[in-house]
Amino acid sequence: AQTVTQSQPEMSVQEAETVTLSCTYDTSESDYYLFWYKQPPSRQMILVIRQEAYKQQNATENRFSVNFQKAAKSFSLKISDSQLGDAAMYFCAYRTTYKYIFGTGTRLKVLA
């Protein structure tokens, strides 16, 4: 069965600095999608970035980028120029068929 592991329950970063959140997954499939979602205190789940497994190029969305290592089954999220509004829970997710499997989340604190 597929699993998603986020080994960092909490991370802190200084405003304007860069932080990387880790995610590993386990699967026997070759074609799949990976996602990072952000959940601020409002509890709304917001899509941050998406990566197709068949693409070698790492996805980027403005200040957010991923380091996708398919062989290592690793999918980390890098946030550059961190802002106070980035403070939230971040969830890594793996999509199999139409079901998502979520990690347990990493709480990101941004220090002014």
Partner 1 sequence: DAGVIQSPRHEVTEMGQEVTLRCKPISGHDYLFWYRQTMMRGLELLIYFNNNVPIDDSGMPEDRFSAKMPNASFSTLKIQPSEPRDSAVYFCASSFAGGGGGETQYFGPGTRLLVL
The reply to whether 50 sits near partner 1 by the rule CB under 8 A is yes
Nearest to 90 by CA among 21, 26, 13: 21
Cα dihedral value 11, 46, 51, 104, nearest 10: 50
Binding of residue 25 to partner 1 (CB under 8 A): no
Q: Is residue 99 a contact point for partner 1 (CB under 8 A)?
A: yes
Instruction: Mark the segment that binds partner 1 (CB under 8 A) among 8-16, 20-28, 65-73, 97-105.
Output: 97-105
Please tell me whether residue 11 binds partner 1 under the rule CB under 8 A.
no
